[in-house]
Amino acid sequence: MIKQTEIVIRTTKRGFFVITDEILNNVNISNIKMGMMNIFLKHTSASLSINENASSDVRIDLENFSSDLIDNKNYIHSYEGEDDMPAHIKSSLFGVSLNIPITNGKLNIGIWQGIYLNEHRNTPQHRKIVITIYY
């Protein structure tokens, strides 16, 4: 069986945000004994990742590291502003898709892991995410 839904998450600023609850609030996996969830972000200036879900310091450090590494370069592409090309690079490096196993009605992730939406633009955005569950 396959089921699919699309959700929209509004970001408020640039940064790394835990969205595990938003994902789980929009799908019911409680009756799935074994399966797989694919999460796909339909954008080229944001990304998805899995990381520490307890300490906001991790999210701040990831933002600072990626910005120090990639921002403030002399990029040619700047159609949507100076944060445009850095956002595309970060999106490519982190990626826009995740596959997460489902076991006994729960995401089979580590106790300290959470799903991140990484916003790489400076301004608020509406980000579309497609969630596909195979079971």
pLDDT tens digits, residue range 95-107?
999 999 999 999 9
Give residue limits of the domains in the chain: 2-134
CB atoms closer than 10 angstroms to residue 115 = 24
What is the value of pTM for the model shown? 0.95
**Which is nearest to 130 in space by CA: 2, 37, 7, 3?**
7
pLDDT 10s digits, 81-124: 899 999 999 999 999 999 999 999 999 999 999 999 999 999 99
What SS3 class is residue 62?
A: helix
Quick one: pLDDT band at residue 133, thresholds 50, 70, 90?
very high
- The topology (CATH level 3) of 2-134 is Jelly Rolls (2.60.120)
Q: Is the pLDDT of residue 78 over 90?
A: no
φ, ψ for residue 24 (rounded to 5)? -70, -25
Q: What contacts 24+ positions apart, CB below 8 Å, involve 54-60?
A: 54/112, 58/16, 59/15, 59/16, 59/17, 59/18, 59/116, 60/15, 60/16
Sign (positive or negative) of CA dihedral 91, 14, 9, 115: positive
Quick one: pLDDT band at residue 127, thresholds 50, 70, 90?
very high
**Side chain identity at residue 30, one-letter code:** S
Quick one: pLDDT band at residue 8, thresholds 50, 70, 90?
very high
What SS3 class is residue 90?
A: helix
pLDDT 10s digits, 13-62: 999 999 999 999 999 999 999 999 999 999 999 999 999 999 999 999 99
